[in-house]
Amino acid sequence: MEIETQVISRSPDIMSGAPVFAGTRVPVQTIVDYLAGGHSLEEFLDDFPTVRREQAVELLERVKGLLKDAQI
């Protein structure tokens, strides 16, 4: 049985309600900014050790799925 990983959380008490990686104070926007800036996933994970690799990969997979169906 596979355990579902919580990827994102949101609370008005943490980072003013911005979506963050669950269990951290790292905004999800940060990984987008890193990748858009030409940085690797490894660099992001090194700079934000509270984010687990599984969380980052799952987020990217979910975004990929959303974009697959989007008509932009």
Q: What pLDDT, on the 0 to 100 scale, is given for residue 1? A: 37
Asked whether 17 and 11 are in contact (CB, 8 A), the reply is: yes
Radius of gyration of the chain (CA): 13
pTM of the entire predicted model:
0.84
64 alpha carbon, distance to own chain's centre:
12
Helices and strands counted in the chain (H then E) = 3, 2
Q: What pLDDT, on the 0 to 100 scale, is given for residue 38? A: 97
Q: Which of 38, 58, 34 is nearest to 47 (CA)?
A: 34
pLDDT in tens, 7-60: 999 999 999 999 999 999 999 999 999 999 999 999 999 999 999 999 999 999
Q: What pLDDT, on the 0 to 100 scale, is given for residue 2? A: 42
